[in-house]
């Protein structure tokens, strides 16, 4: 599912519909309270043969309630779709916020990781393993400067059984733990490895493992081969490097747990440095992560032009001026936007006893029409 928050130096307004391979996400407002939420609209046809996956995701989301985890608020169902009403997070993705900052330090990274560790410890204490922790699944709750970070996307999460172990190979290349690639039974320690990889990237702007060839990438991960390259790591504290080494320990039995990680001086002490590393880190993030993001942006944009928004009886699509910040176009850098209406609301499209279809407008750059 594409999230409604992507940026290079821009961001779509939050009232657009964003469509992924299997579902759409739309912004909606509860009529009674005017509370904004995000509704994940999943066609039942896309779930054929994958019913267990969505049932597992819903079971996990029903069990969790944590300030740093995006919550499931309600579920609706029609003859053709399943609708998951999710807590709205509107602050954008992790990397985008870092790039936009003018000042960024080790301490900032430490505070981010502390929030992630606290949330994942909560999951692990509940017997839940996320299995797909990565920067794309870390979103800011709001546009506020001191906004908290939120963990999203529990599509690959797993509830551990009593005394059971997991063995399904899943996750995202680059963030997956060695034992998963080795097709060995694994545990919640795989999440700690992923947090180690995220920590590494937050401090230098590039991944610890990289190769265009997946086989070679996996070979690096299996050997846990990574370095703290000069000059990118010259100004990073030994404490930060020690933390990463404990999180990215090849042996899962020796790897830090979330509880141990929370007690590391880089997280709970005062060893994280306050030196500004923004220039180096943001430059590397742009170099190593921007290209795939821009390709994604074009795909999302083309999907937006023909999307219909499906809303349940309790919610209705809204256009909110207060959520439209001053943004720069990702293509031409322009800052003038025009509302493009894609068609009148359908008045005769009752497809379920309480379900209606609305056609929503979208934003277009005045300069390049993107």
Catalytic positions, written as ranges:
132
Pairing of strands 138-140, 149-151: antiparallel
Q: Which two tokens stand for residue 287?
A: 């170099």
CA 155 – CA 86 distance, rounded (Å): 14
Distances in whole angstroms, Cα of residue 285 to Cα of each of 132, 173, 272, 291 = 20, 17, 21, 10
Radius of gyration of the chain (CA): 21
Q: For every residue of the chain, which 3-state class applies, written as one string?
A: CCCCCCCCCCCCCCCCCEECCCCEEEEEEECCCCCEEEEEEEEHHHHCCCHHHHHHHHHHHHHCCCCCECCEEEEEECCCEEEEEEECCCCCEHHHHHHHCCCCEHHHHHHHHHHHHHHHHHHHHCCEECCCCCHHHEEECCCCCCCCEEECCCCCCEECCCCCCECCCCCCCCCCCHHHHCCCCECCHHHHHHHHHHHHHHHHCCCCCCCCCHHHHHHHHHHCCCCCCCCCCCCCCHHHHHHHHHHCCCCCCCCCCHHHHHCCHHHHCCCCCCCECHHHHHHHHHHHHHHHHHHHHHHHHHHHCCCCEEECCCEECCCCHHHCCCCCCCCCCCCCEEEECCCCCCCCCCCECCEEEECCCEEEECCCCC
Q: Could you tell me which of 228, 229, 210 has the C-alpha nearest to residue 220?
A: 210
CA 96 – CA 94 distance, rounded (Å): 6
């Amino acid at each position: 599912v594409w999230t409604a928050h992507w940026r290079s130096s821009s961001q779509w307004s939050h009232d657009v519909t964003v469509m992924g391979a299997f579902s759409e996400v739309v912004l909606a407002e509860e009529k009674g309270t005017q509370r904004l939420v995000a509704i994940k609209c999943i066609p039942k046809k896309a779930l054929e043969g994958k019913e267990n996956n969505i049932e597992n995701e819903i079971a996990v989301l029903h069990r969790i309630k944590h300030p740093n985890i995006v919550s499931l608020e309600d579920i609706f169902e029609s003859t053709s779709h399943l609708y998951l009403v999710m807590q709205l997070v509107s602050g954008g993705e992790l990397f985008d916020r870092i790039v936009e900052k003018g000042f960024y330090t080790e301490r900032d990274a430490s505070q981010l990781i502390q929030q992630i560790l606290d949330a994942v410890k909560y999951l692990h204490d509940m017997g839940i393993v996320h299995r797909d922790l990565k920067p794309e699944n870390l979103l800011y709750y709001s546009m506020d400067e001191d906004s908290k970070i939120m963990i999203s996307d529990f599509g690959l999460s797993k509830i551990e059984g009593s005394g059971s172990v997991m063995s399904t190979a899943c996750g995202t290349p680059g963030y997956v733990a060695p034992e998963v690639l080795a097709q060995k039974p694994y545990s919640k320690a795989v999440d700690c490895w992923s947090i180690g990889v995220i920590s590494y990237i937050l401090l230098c702007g590039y991944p610890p493992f990289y190769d265009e060839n997946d086989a070679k990438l996996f070979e690096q991960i299996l050997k846990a081969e990574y370095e703290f390259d000069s000059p990118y790591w010259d100004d990073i504290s030994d404490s930060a490097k020690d933390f990463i080494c404990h999180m990215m320990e090849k042996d899962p039995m020796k790897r830090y747990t979330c509880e141990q990680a929370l007690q590391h001086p880089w997280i709970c002490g005062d060893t994280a440095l306050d030196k500004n590393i923004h220039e180096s880190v943001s430059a590397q993030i742009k170099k190593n992560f921007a290209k795939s993001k821009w390709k994604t942006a074009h795909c999302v944009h083309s999907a937006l032009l023909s999307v219909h928004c499906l809303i349940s009886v309790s919610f209705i699509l809204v256009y909110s001026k207060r959520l439209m910040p001053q943004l720069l176009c990702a293509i031409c850098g322009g800052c003038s936007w025009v509302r493009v209406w894609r068609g009148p609301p359908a008045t005769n499209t009752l497809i379920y006893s309480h379900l209606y279809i609305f056609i929503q407008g979208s934003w277009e750059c005045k300069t390049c029409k993107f």
